């Protein structure tokens, strides 16, 4: 495994014990409060139905599982993929506590994940900025997704306008979990254009938060 991936795994393993607290602190620092509505928008834009299969790419502690379960139901399936074992352990704990029976967890690099069958939706939240080979990750998403179905990426990026002055803080708080100026400046929707149509990008908080949704060609 390359050094960058190992660094990300080490970083997330270190914060896994207080991940949800860290998340909340980060967003309080930027004054953007609760990000749940943004998550929900990203999930809703998959247009999933009961009984369908969805991949939660770089699922971390499984924060998306509850809203995804609400949509696909017990007859559907959620596949959580993540590179960090300790984050998957948190996800496993959440699955047990909620007695969910239809979630499969896989430890794998998002840039290499091949699902045995094409799925009905893929969501990737707060992770695309850190995935070292994000171009391959987007290509894998396209290969794993049925034509006409959606990939939704919800993430952070460098801010615009006068809020640019806060970008060093964003770099500082993400530097041990895969953040760099180059990575936080990514525009993954440009890569999506190769495989996806109807790409919509919604930004807020001076460009700090965005979600990009596209339909597989
Ligand atoms: C900020 S957390 C987000 C977790 C979850 N998606 C959420 O919204 O709370 C980023 C996650 O991406 C995972 N990750 C980073 N690079 C990855 C890669 N190349 N492949 C798979 N997972 C990766 C990390 O292990 C971590 O769990």
Give 188's pLDDT tier (boundaries 50, 70, 90).
very high
* pLDDT tens-digit map of 28-74: 766 665 566 778 899 999 999 999 999 999 999 999 999 999 999 99
The residue among 205 and 123 whose pLDDT is bigger is 123
Report the CATH number that the domain containing residue 39 is assigned in CATH.
3.40.50.150
Among 142, 139, 133, 147, CA closest to 183: 133
Among 32, 29, 59, 64, CA closest to 48: 64
Question: How many whole angstroms from 130 Cα to the centroid of ligand 1?
Answer: 8
Q: Please tell me the predicted confidence (pLDDT) of residue 38.
A: 79
- 59 CA: nearest ligand 1 atom: 6
Residues 6 or more apart whose CB falls under 8 angstroms from that of 101 comprise 74
Q: Report residues whose beta carbon is within 6 angstroms of any ligand 1 atom.
A: 5, 8, 12, 58-60, 63, 82-84, 87, 109-111, 125-127, 130-131, 178
Among 100, 52, 105, 40, CA closest to 79: 105
The residue among 75 and 15 whose pLDDT is bigger is 75
Q: State the Cα–Cα distance between residues 13 and 124, nearest whole angstrom.
A: 19
Segments forming the whole domain that contains residue 176: 2-216
CB 54 within 8 A of CB 125: no
Structural domain total, the chain: 1
Mean pLDDT of 94-117: 98
* pLDDT tens-digit map of 1-32: 688 899 999 999 998 888 877 777 776 766 66
Question: How many whole angstroms from 58 Cα to the centroid of ligand 1?
Answer: 4
- 154 CA: nearest ligand 1 atom: 8
């Amino acid at each position: 495994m390359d050094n960058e991936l190992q660094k990300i795994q080490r970083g997330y393993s270190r914060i896994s014990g207080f991940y949800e607290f860290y998340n909340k602190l980060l967003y309080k620092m930027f004054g953007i409060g609760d990000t749940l509505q943004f998550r929900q928008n990203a999930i809703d834009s998959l247009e999933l139905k009961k009984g369908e299969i969805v991949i939660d790419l770089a699922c971390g502690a499984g924060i998306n599982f509850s809203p995804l379960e609400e949509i696909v139901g017990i007859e559907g399936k959620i596949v959580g993929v993540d590179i960090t074992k300790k984050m998957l352990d948190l996800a496993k704990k959440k699955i047990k506590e909620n007695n969910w029976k239809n979630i499969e967890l896989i430890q794998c690099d998002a840039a290499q994940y091949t699902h045995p069958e094409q799925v009905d939706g893929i969501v990737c939240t707060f992770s695309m900025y850190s995935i070292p080979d994000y171009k391959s990750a987007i290509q894998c998403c396209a290969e794993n997704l049925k034509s006409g179905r959606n990939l939704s990426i919800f993430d952070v990026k460098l801010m615009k306008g006068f809020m640019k002055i806060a970008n060093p803080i964003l770099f500082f708080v993400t530097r041990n979990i895969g953040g760099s100026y180059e990575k936080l400046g990514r525009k993954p929707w440009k890569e999506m254009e190769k495989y996806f149509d109807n790409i919509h990008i919604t930004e807020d908080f001076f460009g700090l938060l965005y979600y990009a949704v596209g339909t597989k060609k």
